[in-house]
Amino acid sequence: MKLTQTKFAGEKPKMSIYIKYIVIGIVALMFCSDIMAQSTNIKGVIFDIKNNTLPGANIYIEGTYDGASSDADGKFSFTTNETGKHVLKVDYIGFESYMKELELNGKEVYIEANLKESFNRLNAVTITVGAFEASETKKAVILKSLDIVTTAGALGDISGAMQTLPGTSMVGESGRLFVRGGHSDETQTYIDGILVHEPYTISEPNTAVRGRFNPFMFSGTIFSTGGYSAEYGQALSSVLLLQTNGLQQEDQLDLSIQSIGPGVAGTKLWKSGAVTASFDYMNLTPYMRLVPQNYNWHKYPRSYNGAISVRQKTGKGGLLKTYITYDKSSFSLDQEDPDYLPEAINIKMDNQYVYFNTSWRGTLNEKWSLKTGISTTGNFDNNSFGFGDYYGQLHGANAKIALANQISKKIKIRFGAEYFYKYSSEKYDNEPYSVHHLQNFTSNMIVGFAEADIYASNKFVTRLGGRYEYSAYLKKYNFAPRISAAYKLDDKSQFSLAYGIFFQDPANEYLMYTSRLHFENTNHFILNYQTIKENRTFRAEIYYKGYNNLVKYRLTDHLVPTDHNNSGSGYAYGLEIFWRDRKTLRNGDYWISYSYIDTKRDFRDYPGEAIPDFVSKHNFSLVYKHWIGGLRSLLGFTLRYSSPRCYNDPNKAEFNSESMTPYRTLNVNWSYLCKQNVIIYASISNVTGFKQQYGYKYASFANEEGLYESVPVIPDAKRFYFIGCFITLTKSGEANQLDKLE
């Protein structure tokens, strides 16, 4: 038998056999692993908290590459071979991450995830109730700083520009801010958070005053017509908050040649600071000799003003600001007075004013910030009215410290304290009748305040606060709670509401005679809707104010403490609408304001509840500005209408039953850029020559026929004309003074 030759162990196999076995083994292992693995299918839908689907969300198993993205309907689906406990995570821009622990065992998993919007303070809702802000630093403000000073008829006056906004009543013989049925004494002005005493210039009786401060000083302005922060008090109706400029970019010299007088201002910069000095001289003698006036002037109005402002950086984020200004003005004229008819009385007025303000604000660390400051005011009057001389002086001071802490992304608190000092005196001499009158008082007040902004989400915020005040002069204290909230409907619109109690000292003219008075107070209820979209702004607001403890007094020959009490009261409610459009008209920009108010008061010497003589039921403003590139010109006009105000005729039985003529005016201005740094500017107020008459002034006593004689209250001229040339000198040659103009 023939044996066949075979291979035994020890013989060397071919390499291809090994490769074959290895491949077969790998395939077998992969096949077995697929059989043994428990794959799990995960699917579901991604929503927000309102059950709106979210497309493009990123869904994945944390620590793996297994996942998917949601489709246009928010749905997703993917398979994973992971087993055991794992965390499913969902990420979506602008929302908080969603996480859920899953048990992966091969069974299908279905997920419905509702994502909460993440909090971002930059995109969060802000409380806008009662406030109009003018700024160059925020995108969503209603006005820019330039708007204040390029409004026709404002004459470069901040208060004049604010009077084109809803909530104000036009009181042409005053010029001050009268807000939502409140007297001008109920509006306070703050610079860098510190109170300004006597913020208006002097003027002859029945002629509008102006604010003392030039608009170009300020980078931001907030005009709050009610419901304002607990940080501010001693104002029943409104606060005007002015923020001074920071550091400029280059050295600058400004020259102005005007029909009312010349001016010069210069700024010098250094590495971490700057100083600005200015001087303005006004003399209306040449102007008033050319333009007919309604009064006989002996000395035309003249004044001069000097100011110095220093800004200095401190540390990493602090800024120290110091500002001081001095103003002196005087004039003399004859005016008819019903007590001295048929003769006119001579009025002489001389005023000196000095104001000092220094403040510091900065960050202490990542969460804490601090702002503090102090201001002092000195106002001195030396006046003569007919047969009497009046001497008055006011010394005021305010010191404040305020801390803010960002407790978390959604909670911020502010708290602080301040001190108010006020000394006021008046002396009146009437030699022919041997009447000598001297009164004065000193008031000290300490204040504490605190409030918190609490964000529930990007769409809802609540502000809770309170303010405590104690007056050493009145020996009274008060506590004023404040609450406001805002809800964001979408990225463009929101609702805001506010409630608060607001207290204020009685006016100085009452405190002169007695300290046995209480704080006057009012309650504010405000609801606001605002939308800002594509350079168009719409704003509507309704409000109610209830007044309590208003001062009443009896008219006697000599006022005594018992003549005064706090039995007065009142109310005001109304509707305000604001519309601004910077898109529809090419190179055009306009805004429309309308306000309606119903109000009555029983205060001062009123015999009962009546409409105050400083309130117009309907107020309308239209402001338009147009840039003509070919002419390098900015044209503007302002149309204003206020319905007739009431006044009291003592010859009639009913109090405040007579009506003035309605207030109407059309103001026009023109700015022409001769060169980038040279501007010629002209304006005319009341172009159409509407007749303005603010009622009548009546005699103190009836004549032999039992009638009270009267003289009409009229402005000193029908129109006001202005022309000026403004030159700016800088190294770059690009800067100009357009922001200083009306």
pLDDT bucket at 50, cuts 50 / 70 / 90: confident
Q: Pull the structure tokens for residue 272.
A: 């971490």
pLDDT bucket at 39, cuts 50 / 70 / 90: confident
pLDDT of residue 247: 77
Taking the C-alpha atoms of residue 407 and residue 367, their distance in angstroms, rounded to an integer, is: 7
Give percent of the chain above pLDDT 70. Answer: 86
pLDDT bucket at 13, cuts 50 / 70 / 90: very low
Q: Tokens 């010299």 — which residue?
A: 253
Query: Taking residues 459-478, what's their average pLDDT?
Result: 94
Residues with Cβ < 8 Å from 25, sequence gap 6 or more? Answer: none
Q: Are 99 and 91 in contact (CB under 8 A)?
A: no
Above 50 in pLDDT, residue 35?
no
Q: Is the dihedral of CA 503, 199, 138, 182 positive or negative?
A: positive
pTM over 0.85: no
Above 70 in pLDDT, residue 377?
yes
pLDDT bucket at 73, cuts 50 / 70 / 90: confident
Query: Taking residues 659-667, what's their average pLDDT?
Result: 93
pLDDT of residue 327: 93
Above 60 in pLDDT, residue 22?
no
pLDDT of residue 76: 93
Beta bridge partners of 696: 712
Q: Exposure string (b/e) for 573-596, b if CB count within 10 Å is 16 or more?
A: bbebebebbeeeeeeebbbbbbbb
Above 50 in pLDDT, residue 6?
no
Above 70 in pLDDT, residue 26?
no
Neighbours of 509 (CB within 10 A): 14
pLDDT of residue 127: 54
Rounded to the nearest 5 degrees, what angle is found at the Cα of 408, between the Cα atoms of 406 and 411? 75
Q: Are 402 and 231 in contact (CB under 8 A)?
A: yes
DSSP string spanning 577-621? EEEEESSSSTTEEEEEEEEEEEEEEE-BT-SSSB--TT--SEEEE
Whether the link from the prior residue into 650 is cis, omega within 30° of 0, is no
- 131-740: CATH number: 2.40.170.20
pLDDT bucket at 366, cuts 50 / 70 / 90: confident
Above 50 in pLDDT, residue 3?
no
Beta bridge partners of 381: 351, 392
Query: Taking residues 240-250, what's their average pLDDT?
Result: 81
Taking the C-alpha atoms of residue 125 and residue 140, their distance in angstroms, rounded to an integer, is: 11
Neighbours of 552 (CB within 10 A): 18
Query: Taking residues 251-270, what's their average pLDDT?
Result: 89
Give percent of the chain above pLDDT 90. Answer: 44
Above 70 in pLDDT, residue 274?
yes
Tell me the per-residue pLDDT of 697-731, one tens digit each, with 9 for 90 and over.
Answer: 999 888 888 899 999 998 888 888 989 888 888 88
Q: Smallest Cα–Cα separation from 684: which of 666, 668, 663?
A: 668
Neighbours of 198 (CB within 10 A): 17
* Neighbour-count burial of 672, counting CB atoms closer than 10 A to its CB (0-12 exposed, 13-18 middle, 19+ buried): middle
Residue spans per domain, the chain: 15-115, 131-740
Query: Taking residues 334-362, what's their average pLDDT?
Result: 90
Mean pLDDT is lowest, of 201-205, 335-339, 488-492, for: 201-205
pLDDT of residue 365: 85
Above 80 in pLDDT, residue 102?
yes
- Residue that wins the pLDDT comparison between 668 and 164: 668
Tell me the per-residue pLDDT of 107-162, one tens digit each, with 9 for 90 and over.
Answer: 899 999 999 877 655 455 555 555 554 433 444 444 555 565 556 555 667 777 77
Rounded to the nearest 5 degrees, what angle is found at the Cα of 60, between the Cα atoms of 56 and 62? 140
Above 70 in pLDDT, residue 528?
yes
Max CA separation in the chain (angstroms): 172
CA 252 vs CA 213, 220, 366, 640, 737: distances in Å: 20, 21, 35, 36, 11
Taking the C-alpha atoms of residue 211 and residue 222, their distance in angstroms, rounded to an integer, is: 15
Tell me the per-residue pLDDT of 383-425, one tens digit each, with 9 for 90 and over.
Answer: 988 778 889 999 999 999 999 998 988 899 999 999 999 999 9
Tell me the per-residue pLDDT of 424-458, one tens digit each, with 9 for 90 and over.
Answer: 998 887 765 555 667 889 999 999 999 999 988 88
pLDDT bucket at 89, cuts 50 / 70 / 90: very high
Query: Taking residues 55-61, what's their average pLDDT?
Result: 89
- Residue that wins the pLDDT comparison between 319 and 208: 319
CATH class of 15-115: mainly beta
pLDDT bucket at 2, cuts 50 / 70 / 90: very low
Query: Taking residues 688-699, what's their average pLDDT?
Result: 90
pLDDT of residue 17: 54
Query: Taking residues 179-206, what's their average pLDDT?
Result: 88
Q: Pull the structure tokens for residue 191.
A: 């610079």
Tell me the per-residue pLDDT of 597-637, one tens digit each, with 9 for 90 and over.
Answer: 999 999 998 999 999 999 999 999 999 989 898 888 889 89
Taking the C-alpha atoms of residue 638 and residue 591, their distance in angstroms, rounded to an integer, is: 10
Whether the link from the prior residue into 342 is cis, omega within 30° of 0, is yes
DSSP string spanning 499-525? EEEEEEPPPHHHHTT-S----EEEEEE
Q: Pull the structure tokens for residue 684.
A: 């005319």
pLDDT of residue 364: 87
- The amino acid at residue 668 is V
- 131-740 has the same fold as 15-115: no
Q: Are 451 and 230 in contact (CB under 8 A)?
A: yes
pLDDT of residue 382: 92
Mean pLDDT of the chain: 84
Query: Taking residues 258-268, what's their average pLDDT?
Result: 89
pLDDT of residue 153: 55
